[in-house]
Amino acid sequence: MPDFSSVRRRIFAPQARDGALRMAIWAAAGILFACAAWLMLDVAVRGAAGLDWRFLVDEPARAGRAGGIGPILVSTGLILAVAIAVAAPLGLAAAIFLAEFLPSGSRFAAWTSISLDVLAGIPSIVFGLFGNAFFSVWLGMGFSILSGGLTLACMILPLLIRTAEHGLRMVPDEWRHGAAALGMSRFSSVWRIVLPAAGPAVTAGLLLGLGRATAETAALVFTSGYVDRMPSSLLDSGRALSLHIYDLAMNVAGGDRNAYASALVLLLFLIVVNGLAMSFSDYLLRKRIAA
């Protein structure tokens, strides 16, 4: 057995470099793990201390220092409902048009694609500015759940369209051709065959959008407002959970305990939503590998 090690040492970088790189990679992974674990444990431990069933249903008292988050959960739910109710049908319709009706390579497709990419990159605070100027002031909705929900709808729209469009394009053409050969109209082939087949992908996108909207704070500061009472209509101002956390942490001395409890609620909800989204897209992946 000839000895190559001397050759190797001359031609390739020294072993020391490899060792250092290996250590750096393990160290980076370890540090990220440590920080993430620190963050999660901190929220879990301090949040659990203030969290019970009463907290979820009670009205906030003394600017949120005491009491619970009942009305805030209701407002959050309403804001999300508005956002999804507007963005989901609009996004799905746009995705169907882009994936099924528009010839790819057309100028409109190119323009839409650029505009959606740009829209997806706009900072959320700018969505907040826009929402304030357009929905709250120009359309006269004021600080309201409606205004906040519509702002969030604009924000998650690119995500919904992209995921749905991607899901639709993954559906094999054979089924479209099969449906056309049976004399089915284009729309019924989409409605009866393609869309159900893309269902998991569309659902995953919807859940991701829901998660994104739930996590959002900056876009809501001056659209849905701060009022922490139980909303009586969609035109009432309503405080979102994320905004409540911000307010307690920054503006209310002694609000830590409830800020943490609210943060835990938010985090748990997001884990469920994002986990569901993941399981839908994993399901898709498995199916594609199996096929």
Partner 1 sequence: MTSLRISSLFPRTPDGYIAFGLGAAACLASGILLLILIFVFGEAWPALRTIGVVRFLSDGAWYPTDGAFGLVPMLAASFALAAGALTIAAPVGVAVAIFRLHYAPGWMKAPYRGLVLLLAGTPSVVLGLWGLMVLVPLIARIEPPGASLIAGILVLALMIVPTVAIASEAALESVPRSCWSAANALGLGREAALLNVVLPAAREGIAGGILLAGARALGETMVVLMITGNIVQMPDGLFTPVRALTSNIALEMAYATGDHRASLFVSGLALTLLVFLLSFAAGTGRRRRHA
Partner 2 sequence: MTLGPKDEAAGEGAAGYTVGPMLAGPECCTPEPVIGVRGLAVSYAGVPALKHVDLDIYKGCVTALIGPSGCGKSTFLSSLNRLTDLVAGCRVAGRIEVDGVDIHGPDVDVQALRRKVGMIFQKPNPFPLSIHRNLDMPLREHGVRSRDERESRIRAALSDVGLWEEVADRLDEPALSLSGGQQQRLCIARALVLQPSILLMDEPCSALDPLSAETVEKMIVGLRGRYTVVVVTHNLAQARRIANFAAFFWVRDRAGALIEFDTCQRLFEAPAHDLTAAYVTGRSG
Q: How far is the CB of 114 from partner 2 (least distance, A)?
A: 21
The CA-based angle 234-125-144, given to 5 degrees, is 10
| Residue 288 is a binding residue for partner 2 (CB under 8 A) | no
Q: How far is the CB of 145 from partner 2 (least distance, A)?
A: 39
Strand partners, 61: 66
Q: Looking at 180, 230, 278, 285, which residue binds partner 2 (CB under 8 A)?
A: 180
Shortest CA distance to 159 belongs to which of 94, 246, 79? 94
Residue 232: what residue type? Answer: S
Binding mask 205-244 for partner 1 (x = CB under 8 A): ------x--xxxxx--xx-------------------xx-
Binding mask 38-57 for partner 1 (x = CB under 8 A): xxx-xx--x-----------
Q: Looking at 14, 30, 123, 178, which residue binds partner 2 (CB under 8 A)?
A: 178
> 197 is in the binding site of which of partner 2, partner 1, none (Cβ under 5 to 8 A by kind)?
partner 2
At a CB cut-off of 8 Å and minimum separation 6, what does 187 contact? none
What is the end-to-end Cα distance of the chain in Å, rounded? Answer: 47
At a CB cut-off of 8 Å and minimum separation 6, what does 222 contact? 128, 129, 131, 132, 136, 143
| Residue 186 is a binding residue for partner 1 (CB under 8 A) | yes
Element (H, E) at 192: none
Footprint on residues 64-83 left by partner 1 (CB under 8 A): none
Give the interface size with partner 2 as a residue count (CB under 8 A).
Answer: 21
Q: Looking at 98, 164, 194, 202, which residue binds partner 1 (CB under 8 A)?
A: 98
